[in-house]
Amino acid sequence: MKKYIVLFLLFSAVVFAQNVNEYKYALMPSKFSFLKEENQYNLNLITKMYLQKYGFESYYDNETFSADFASINCNKIFIDVLNNSTMFSTKLKVVIKDCKNNILATSDEGTSREKEYRVAYNEALRMAFDNFGMLKTHKYQPSEKSIGTVGELAFQGVEHNEGKPMILYPKKAIEGFDLITSNPEVVYMNIKYTSVKDVYIAKRKENTGIFFKDNEKWIFEYYLNNQKITELLHVQF
């Protein structure tokens, strides 16, 4: 029985590692929920540094994203840190989720008995990352799940053949307009007017957010799994 349990655990570890290896990018909050300020005690910076060390191109949720990062929701992992501290010790865990909020992996608990918060949180978080073997062996191996199928890429705004952002075009609609691809039958996004110039309500599939102009660039911004997503769109008005 013990032999089968060990084999099952080894198989599970390989499967989860492969899941993480499918991703090139990582997105994390600029402020963890158990803290009062952005990057308090440098925990968000430490998280980003570890993810970059382990081979992920990483962003905070309030940063401007690269076009490739923003073009497809499921090409990234979502990082969070959970605080299970007690009166006598600081305890942190790192959690990795996919775009559908499924937990891909959770680190072992990093602990510290230091009394000063900054020292304790830093020590506990570094311990959690240092012992997170799955991340340490990360090697990006793209799959259909993480880069999307041909159809999904076209819908998300990436030309599959050329690897370049596609140009979107406005088409009049009720109370606003649609953004269409070079194929007029393919509606990429529905846009509704607001009372504010160059600010619109936008809906793409299940994602609803705002579409606005910022320094001559058009942005689609929305929330996914409590993470703010910012996408750059190329629109030919």
| Residue range 127-183, pLDDT digits in tens | 999 999 888 888 887 665 554 433 343 344 444 444 456 788 999 988 899 998 887
In 3D, which of 214, 222, 212, 219 has the Cα closest to residue 234?
219
Q: Mean pLDDT, to the nearest integer, of 93-113?
A: 92
In this prediction the pTM is 0.60
Mean pLDDT of the chain: 81
Q: Mean pLDDT, to the nearest integer, of 53-70?
A: 85
Number of Cβ within a 10 Å radius of residue 149: 11
Residue-level pLDDT at 160: 40
Distance CA 207, CA 222 (A): 7
Residue-level pLDDT at 137: 87
Higher-pLDDT residue of 16 and 59 is 59
Q: Could you say which DSSP state residue 165 is in?
A: B
Percent of the chain with pLDDT strictly greater than 70: 81
Residue-level pLDDT at 43: 96
Q: Where are the beta strands (DSSP E) in 98-168?
A: 103-106, 110-112
Task: For residue 37, give Cα distances in angstroms to 30, 58, 79, 128.
Answer: 9, 20, 17, 21
Residue-level pLDDT at 206: 81
Distance CA 164, CA 153 (A): 11
Q: Where are the beta strands (DSSP E) in 12-167?
A: 25-28, 57-60, 76-83, 90-97, 103-106, 110-112
